[in-house]
A and B are shown apart, each in its own frame.
Chain A
């Protein structure tokens, strides 16, 4: 392991907003005025709260329809998975895969990874620290791509407005889905990755 000291050992705090290295004990960063704290406040509790809320809303976001379309008088509602299957059947397997990754694989991965990080950080586990640190940065990077389905529904509903010939309207499932994405992002932001390394100094 590298011998780099950690901030607490040297009596230092890094400002979470501007990055300035400050002496511990000050309430505010002298450069940008943000509150200084060695760890994000209530990191584990807040992150769990957002994660559980997201998990609960994930059910209606998948079960309820996200869009209603009517073509020549024949109307139907579709869920997110329904949309993936439609693309697959029509031969656009690449788009089907893209939507599946953004709408199903990314949120599921975030749930599993964040739960793993939260449990192991709480136990101050020394297991696979480097890999867990990389997993955290990975979900930080991919998280917001789940918003893809929201964009697609918005565009289709704005475009397909031909009265009797064909219309498209959003349905409540997309609201739940958008909230799931926002909540998982808050969950990831609330988690403090420094906790992964606490206990690594020895």
Chain B
């Protein structure tokens, strides 16, 4: 037995009846004031378009240098993956793995899993492995840290500009856009896709 007409607050277990929301409205729990659900501003086509854009920007953000420094005729530059590699020497491997997971693997998985689900969603179908993809999108969400990387880039620029000539590279600008896109597509409630896409069984029975 399930009750799709009800919603349970995940912070305090209060049970509420769902109601239609207007644009930009947010349903909050009357007991603990946590967000229950939001009105989704983006339809599936828009979500897919933003996900494809995020995939392109993700590649640029990872292959282009984020910072370039110069001193006494010498210069050097680094991108995200080179920075993670520099951290991973010797005993740094543990923290290097954490950085690789939160700054590279998790954002990549978010884009790939969401893209997979959305390509099928356009045909009003649940993708093969839909439940698997949705469970993992929910699980990895707290570990996506692209915005922290962006702030770190800004701090590093200030830190190094005292003694060196520092220029923000194309990777930095790509990261700014990537941070915005990931926030739009994967930080908010991905769960609404469960309600927006009918289960395959339901479709079969309806015919």
Interface residues in chain A, defined as those with a beta carbon under 8 Å from any beta carbon in chain B: 1-2, 4-8, 10, 12-14, 16-23, 30-34, 38, 71, 87, 90, 92, 95, 98-99, 102, 129-130, 133-134, 136-137, 140, 144-145, 147-148, 150-162, 165-166, 169-170, 172, 174-175, 177-179, 181-182, 185, 189, 193-194, 196-197, 200
A197-B13 contact given A150-B99, A151-B148, A159-B78, CB 8 Å threshold: yes
Which residues of chain A come closer than 8 Å to B76, judged between CB atoms? Answer: 159-162
A32-B85 contact given A150-B95, A165-B74, CB 8 Å threshold: no
B160/A17 in contact, CB under 8 A: no
Instruction: Give 9 nearest A-B pairs by CB, closest first.
Output: A151-B152, A14-B8, A178-B95, A158-B78, A158-B86, A23-B1, A154-B87, A155-B156, A154-B83
**A21-B15, A154-B86 provided; 7 other pairs, C-beta below 8 A?**
A7-B15, A144-B143, A147-B102, A148-B148, A150-B152, A155-B67, A197-B31
A158/B98 in contact, CB under 8 A: no
- Among A22, A137, A158, A179, point to the contact of B11 (Cβ < 8 A): A137
- Among A155, A169, A174, A193, point to the contact of B12 (Cβ < 8 A): A193
Q: In the assembly, what is the distance between CA of A166 and CA of B2, in Å? A: 64
Q: In the assembly, what is the distance between CA of A152 and CA of B103, in Å? A: 13
Which residues of chain A come closer than 8 Å to B112, judged between CB atoms? Answer: none
- Among B15, B33, B85, B92, point to the contact of A175 (Cβ < 8 A): B92
Tell me, rounded to whole Å, the shortest Cβ–Cβ distance linking A53 to chain B. Answer: 14
Q: In the assembly, what is the distance between CA of A153 and CA of B149, in Å? A: 11
Tell me, rounded to whole Å, the shortest Cβ–Cβ distance linking A27 to chain B. Answer: 14
Which residues of chain A come closer than 8 Å to B135, judged between CB atoms? Answer: 17-18, 32-34
A133-B2 contact given A157-B86, A159-B77, CB 8 Å threshold: no
- Among B72, B87, B95, B162, point to the contact of A165 (Cβ < 8 A): B72
Which residue of chain B has the shortest Cβ distance to A147 in the bound complex?
A: B148
A151-B149 contact given A137-B34, A156-B160, A161-B76, CB 8 Å threshold: yes
- Among A6, A32, A129, point to the contact of B13 (Cβ < 8 A): A6
B11/A194 in contact, CB under 8 A: yes
Tell me the B1-41 residues at the A interface (CB within 8 Å).
Answer: 1-4, 6-16, 29-34
Which residue of chain A has the shortest Cβ distance to B156 in the bound complex?
A: A155
Tell me, rounded to whole Å, the shortest Cβ–Cβ distance linking B166 to chain A. Answer: 9
Q: Does B124 count as interface, using CB distance less than 8 angstroms?
A: no
Tell me, rounded to whole Å, the shortest Cβ–Cβ distance linking A110 to chain B. Answer: 14
Q: In the assembly, what is the distance between CA of A5 and CA of B152, in Å? A: 45
Q: In the assembly, what is the distance between CA of A178 and CA of B131, in Å? A: 32
Tell me, rounded to whole Å, the shortest Cβ–Cβ distance linking A160 to chain B. Answer: 7
- Among A17, A30, A99, point to the contact of B2 (Cβ < 8 A): A30
The proximity string for B residues 33-65 relative to A, scoring 1 for CB distances below 8 Å and 0 otherwise, is 110000000000000000000000000000000
B10/A16 in contact, CB under 8 A: yes
Tell me, rounded to whole Å, the shortest Cβ–Cβ distance linking B196 to chain A. Answer: 13
Q: In the assembly, what is the distance between CA of A19 and CA of B2, in Å? A: 11
